[in-house]
């Protein structure tokens, strides 16, 4: 292993100590490279980073891994539990395996790439984050998604995009059902170019022409008595 990569071992160090080491560069511009060994499903690992550090986690993580990320580049070489990259602001989080519920929840920016599948509520209340999932995602994904982009190469569960605002949803597979106020929209050349750039940034080889776009019908922006049943 290159000498410029520092190894932190959760078999020998506490989670608090490992996170403190990763966070000690917060607010600065020092680019450091860390490897975290034996994560064994640890919760809240590599959270609250605010520096251009590179973190490679060799195994599975538990709840809220890489939450509140800013500027860091975090790679999880395994599966991730609920809430991975929750409230992310910038930087990149990549998961080599599958992720559990509400991946990227309330994310304001940055890029989350899931190379496997995602469970329910992927991208719930997203506020500017970009999420790319190579596999399938579960029900109620992109619920109340306000801004940002969600790209799914596989299939999507029920009630997709329920109560969506202005997020953009791109799906290559099948959608089981759309949620309230979510509709299929025209896929223009501009959208295909936008999607191509996002796929390239994610390191995924796929043809934007194979995707459909979904978004808000904007019928629920203002209260109307005829829509009371879907509020």
User: Per residue in 118-130, pLDDT tens?
Assistant: 999 999 999 999 9
Q: Does residue 177 contact residue 197 with C-beta atoms inside 8 Å?
A: no
Strands 182-185 and 212-216: antiparallel
Q: Are strands 73-76 and 54-57 parallel, antiparallel or unpaired?
A: parallel
- CA-closest candidate to residue 93, choices 76, 74, 78: 74
Closest CA to 64 of 28, 39, 35, 33: 39
Contact 115, 94 (CB under 8 A): yes
Structure confidence by residue, pLDDT tens digits, 189-216: 999 999 999 999 999 999 999 999 999 9
- Note the pLDDT of residue 230: 59
What is the domain partition of the chain in residue ranges?
A: 5-230
* DSSP sequence for 187-205: --HHHHHHHHHHHHHHT--
Provide the residue-wise pLDDT of the chain in tens; the chain has 231 residues: 445 899 999 999 999 999 999 999 999 998 999 999 999 999 999 999 999 999 999 999 999 999 999 999 999 999 999 999 999 999 999 999 999 999 999 999 999 999 999 999 999 999 999 999 999 999 999 999 999 999 999 999 999 999 999 999 999 999 999 999 999 999 999 999 999 999 999 999 999 999 999 999 998 766 666 666 655
Q: What is the DSSP code string of 8-58?
A: EETTTS-HHHHHHHHHTTTTS----EEEEE--TT-TTTT-S-BSS-EEEE-
Assigned token pair, 68: 């509140």
Q: Are 46 and 20 in contact (CB under 8 A)?
A: no
Q: Which of left, alpha, beta for 213 (phi over 0: left; psi -120 to 50: alpha)?
A: beta
Contact 54, 32 (CB under 8 A): yes
* CATH classification (class only), 5-230: mainly beta
- Residue ranges of alpha helices (H) inside 24-141 are none
- Per-residue tokens: 224: 């109307």
Give the global pTM: 0.94
CB 199 within 8 A of CB 210: no
């Amino acid at each position: 292993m290159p000498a410029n990569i520092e190894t932190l071992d959760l078999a020998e160090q506490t989670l608090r100590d490992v996170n403190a080491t990763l966070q000690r560069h917060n607010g600065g511009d020092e680019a450091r490279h860390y490897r975290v060994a034996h994560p064994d499903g640890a919760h809240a690992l590599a959270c609250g980073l605010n520096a251009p550090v590179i973190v490679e986690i060799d195994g599975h993580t538990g709840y809220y891994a890489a939450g509140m990320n800013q500027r860091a580049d975090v790679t999880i070489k395994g599966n991730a539990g609920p809430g991975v990259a929750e409230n992310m602001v910038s930087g990149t989080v990549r998961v080599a395996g599958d992720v559990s519920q509400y991946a990227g929840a309330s994310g304001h920016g940055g890029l989350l790439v899931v190379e496997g599948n995602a469970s329910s509520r992927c991208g719930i209340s997203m506020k500017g984050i970009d999420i790319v999932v190579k596999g399938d995602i579960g029900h109620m994904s992109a619920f109340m998604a306000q801004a940002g982009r969600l790209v799914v190469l596989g299939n999507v569960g029920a009630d997709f995009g329920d109560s969506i605002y202005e997020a953009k949803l791109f799906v290559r597979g099948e959608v089981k059902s759309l949620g309230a106020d979510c509709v299929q929209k025209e896929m223009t050349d501009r959208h295909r170019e936008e999607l191509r750039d996002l796929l390239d940034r994610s390191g995924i080889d796929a043809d934007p022409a194979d995707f459909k776009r979904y978004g808000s019908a904007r019928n629920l922006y203002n209260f109307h008595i005829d829509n009371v049943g879907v509020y």
